[in-house]
Chain A
Amino acid sequence: MASKFSTNIETQYTKDFVKESLVVTASVVSGTYPDHASNLSNIKNDTLGYYQTVYDYPHLSQSANPLFDITWGWRPGGNLGDKGRWSTPATVDPVAGTATDVLAKNNIYNQMAALMLGYDSTGSVRVFDLSGSFDTVQANSVMNSPVFINFSRLVMKDELKAGTFELKIDPGVYVSASMTWATKLVITDDGDDLENGLKILRSRLDGTGNPMNVGILDRYRGIAVIQLSGSSISSAGISDTSVGYFVSASDSTDPGERSWNFEHSIYSGTISELSDGLRHRIQSVSVQNATQLNQTTYYVRAGASDFNYSANPSYINANSRIRVLLDSDGNIIDKKAYAYVTGIGLYSADGELLAVAKISKPVKKDSSSPLTIGVKLTY
């Protein structure tokens, strides 16, 4: 029986990853565009003040893509290292998280911890800890005031590739666009592997020396949690008290000028102000992302006696003679019929064309041999 279709298909499923490297430099994070008060800025504060977003172009531009968000947390009941709370405040927790929510940093901390770490057996949210043990508060390693860098889906794709995160920051004063970078802390995810794709982030001064744990990276959620300061990591972070002007430049022309050191900033600064302080210390952020591709390859097999003729109208002349069997005068000569393949159609059982593939160069099909073509669909 004549036919235009065959069911001789073998299916193979495979998985692959496509990787992509991205580097975001200081010129994007804090240098090239005006600050977020301007409509031309590539920085945009959340309308409620809970986070700040860094774009690659001015955020009102149609070309703008979000790169990452910055937000800050404060562990409820935490303290400011061994320095005590700033100016012996009346309340336990820091103030001024956002304009309307003085406990915004507490709430952010709990939200992030619940998402990344979950709850312990008592129903309490686990705590971020530099040791990688999240179930108890350990005075020397608990992260009381971490910054969260949340990479956008565009940047992280399906996941961040392990061992590719690198953040370079200047631990000194607030760096204006006109200033040069001083020493830098290089933070990488070369620490221990933890549960559920978490990794310990470690910092080295100028990229050398003994590393010190400074945070946690969640590769699958694209979130870096970093404790920039604290007595336990003072040699690998930002000084709690000795570096002033954490959230603003020491510049009288800056209307937001504040001489607060890190500790004071953590206590009194808004999330927006703290995010400004971090951005103006970032020299670069680089990651490599990975996208998972699922592929199905359909091996379609045409036997030697299959598909050697064509329904192409040019395949026959006006006299119904098969052209590939004719000489230049139109006489039938002794040859095998053949046809050329330039496309493959994959169909459902009810005959609907679901996928199509084209071959870059025509492939001859005749009765001398079978033909197998792999048709690859990528999802």
Chain B
Amino acid sequence: MSFLTNATTVVDAILTDEGRKRLAAGNFDISKFSLHDDEIVYDKAQMSGYAAKFAATPIFESITENTKALKYNLLTLGLETTHLASTLIVTQPSQGGQSQATGDNTGYYVALARQQAYDNNYSSVTLPTGFMKAYEKSLISENSNSWIYIDHGSNDDDQKGPYKYNENLPSELSETEVLIKLDRRIGRIVMPNSDGVDLSPVSIDDDYIATYLITAAPDSDTSAFFEAIQQDADASPIAGARGLRLRIPVYASPDINVSSTSIWTSLGRIITNFFNGSDNAHAIDTVMSVEGMTTSLNVTVPLRFVKGV
């Protein structure tokens, strides 16, 4: 009788809702895997006794919602590196970005989902910082001041990091394929400078989360979502070498660009004194998840869609 090897751990898996759907449809086929570390907070690595602290991390049970079951991937890189790419939203107009809103809307991009909200409140004044005319997709498509910009790269101080701002980011750390996830009932993505051509999602799951894939390849239909960044020190919030900048125009879904309030009531809430400190607004808060297909590019963009009550 031989000894049992402990080299292989065997764990039980559960089907996600998408897995169950495909099993029922007869097209369940596993072809690749990924490893994840959702529960791990790597700050522990700089603490004494970090190995024991990592090992003692409590792990959550699996959940079946396919968009939420796993969050952070482990990466395979073809180089040994001390740095990975950071991801930052570009919020400085001087760097070619768009400011986020301030005050009670701090941290959000505020999207006016109905033209009436603009006409009644901002037609004769300057639109507040971080607000977008999201009710008209052709307008959003052509107005680069209303796009959301995301940079990634090595963010180490000036000359300390291995990848300087005036150098190219190694291809292993530079992202050229990006997944964007957004609730299709709330927001849609339009092609930059296209006069309002919608970006088609590659899939829409059972929770209405649309997944969009954009790639930077020159022959790709979606290469317009990427642009190179000047190799100047102040051209980006990323201090060191940068990958391609992402620019994403988002507009209000036709589902919420309606006079009816039912979807606004079921998905959102009313914020009092929202417009000019006096008028109430219907508001739906959501996020747009942006995730690199091969690198550590990963950011969540908070969005607040509003219309008058």
Asked if A374 contacts B15 (CB within 8 A), the reply is: no
Asked if A362 contacts B55 (CB within 8 A), the reply is: yes
Q: With A330-B46, A356-B13 given, is the CB distance from A344 to B36 under 8 Å? A: yes
Asked if B30 contacts A362 (CB within 8 A), the reply is: no
Q: With A341-B35, A342-B39 given, is the CB distance from A373 to B156 under 8 Å? A: no
Name B35's contact: one of A307, A319, A330 (CB within 8 Å): A307
Asked if B157 contacts A357 (CB within 8 A), the reply is: no
Spell out A's residues near B (CB within 8 Å): 1-7, 9, 11, 297-300, 302, 305-316, 318-328, 330, 332, 337, 339-350, 352-365, 372-378
B233 beta carbon closer than 8 Å to chain A? no
Asked if A352 contacts B8 (CB within 8 A), the reply is: no
Cβ proximity bits B53-92 to A, threshold 8 Å, 1 near / 0 not: 0110101111110110110111111101111111000000
Cβ proximity bits B25-69 to A, threshold 8 Å, 1 near / 0 not: 001111111111111111101111001001101011111101101
Cα–Cα distance between A214 and B67 once the two chains are bound (Å): 59
B98 to chain A, nearest CB (A): 22
Q: With A4-B73, A322-B83 given, is the CB distance from A354 to B40 under 8 Å? A: no
Cα–Cα distance between A357 and B15 once the two chains are bound (Å): 9
Cα–Cα distance between A232 and B123 once the two chains are bound (Å): 102
- Determine the chain A residues whose CB is within 8 A of the CB of B35 once the complex forms: 300, 302, 307, 339, 341, 343-345, 365
- Determine the chain A residues whose CB is within 8 A of the CB of B9 once the complex forms: 359, 363, 372-374
- Determine the chain A residues whose CB is within 8 A of the CB of B295 once the complex forms: 2, 311
Name A321's contact: one of B39, B83, B298 (CB within 8 Å): B83
23 cross-chain CB contacts under 8 A: A3-B75, A3-B76, A298-B13, A308-B75, A311-B75, A314-B43, A316-B83, A318-B155, A319-B156, A319-B157, A320-B155, A321-B161, A339-B35, A339-B75, A342-B36, A343-B69, A348-B28, A349-B32, A353-B19, A355-B15, A355-B19, A356-B62, A362-B40
B296 to chain A, nearest CB (A): 4
A to B contact number (C-beta, < 8 Å): 288
A1 to chain B, nearest CB (A): 6
With A9-B32, A343-B35, A345-B33 given, name 4 new contacts (CB 8 A): A9-B31, A314-B42, A340-B40, A343-B62
- Determine the chain A residues whose CB is within 8 A of the CB of B86 once the complex forms: 316, 318-320
Q: With A343-B36, A356-B69 given, is the CB distance from A378 to B30 under 8 Å? A: no
- List which B107-122 residues lie within 8 A (CB) of chain A: none
B192 beta carbon closer than 8 Å to chain A? no
Cβ proximity bits B147-166 to A, threshold 8 Å, 1 near / 0 not: 00000011111001100000
Cα–Cα distance between A6 and B73 once the two chains are bound (Å): 12
B269 beta carbon closer than 8 Å to chain A? no
Cα–Cα distance between A1 and B171 once the two chains are bound (Å): 8
Asked if B33 contacts A5 (CB within 8 A), the reply is: yes
Asked if A342 contacts B173 (CB within 8 A), the reply is: no
Asked if B34 contacts A362 (CB within 8 A), the reply is: no
Asked if A2 contacts B77 (CB within 8 A), the reply is: yes
B4 beta carbon closer than 8 Å to chain A? no
Asked if A323 contacts B43 (CB within 8 A), the reply is: yes
A18 to chain B, nearest CB (A): 14
- Determine the chain B residues whose CB is within 8 A of the CB of A344 once the complex forms: 11, 13, 33-36
- Determine the chain B residues whose CB is within 8 A of the CB of A340 once the complex forms: 37, 40, 54, 57
Cα–Cα distance between A341 and B69 once the two chains are bound (Å): 14
Count residues of B near A (Cβ-Cβ below 8 Å): 84
- Cβ-closest chain B residue relative to A336: B80
- Determine the chain A residues whose CB is within 8 A of the CB of B77 once the complex forms: 2, 308-309
Asked if B30 contacts A11 (CB within 8 A), the reply is: yes
- Determine the chain B residues whose CB is within 8 A of the CB of A314 once the complex forms: 40-43
- Determine the chain A residues whose CB is within 8 A of the CB of B62 once the complex forms: 343, 356-358
- Cβ-closest chain B residue relative to A327: B46
Name A6's contact: one of B16, B28, B32, B171 (CB within 8 Å): B32
Cα–Cα distance between A326 and B7 once the two chains are bound (Å): 29
- Determine the chain A residues whose CB is within 8 A of the CB of B173 once the complex forms: 2
List the 10 closest pairs (A to B, CB-CB), nearest first: A354-B19, A374-B10, A357-B13, A343-B36, A312-B72, A307-B74, A4-B73, A309-B75, A311-B296, A324-B45
B228 beta carbon closer than 8 Å to chain A? no
Asked if A354 contacts B36 (CB within 8 A), the reply is: no
Name A357's contact: one of B14, B74, B76, B82 (CB within 8 Å): B14
Asked if A323 contacts B42 (CB within 8 A), the reply is: yes
Asked if B70 contacts A345 (CB within 8 A), the reply is: yes
B219 beta carbon closer than 8 Å to chain A? no
- Determine the chain B residues whose CB is within 8 A of the CB of A322 once the complex forms: 81-84
- Cβ-closest chain A residue relative to B48: A328
Asked if A376 contacts B11 (CB within 8 A), the reply is: yes
Asked if B42 contacts A328 (CB within 8 A), the reply is: no
- Cβ-closest chain B residue relative to A325: B82
Asked if B76 contacts A342 (CB within 8 A), the reply is: no
Name B33's contact: one of A321, A327, A347 (CB within 8 Å): A347
- Cβ-closest chain A residue relative to B86: A320
Asked if B32 contacts A343 (CB within 8 A), the reply is: no
Asked if B30 contacts A355 (CB within 8 A), the reply is: yes
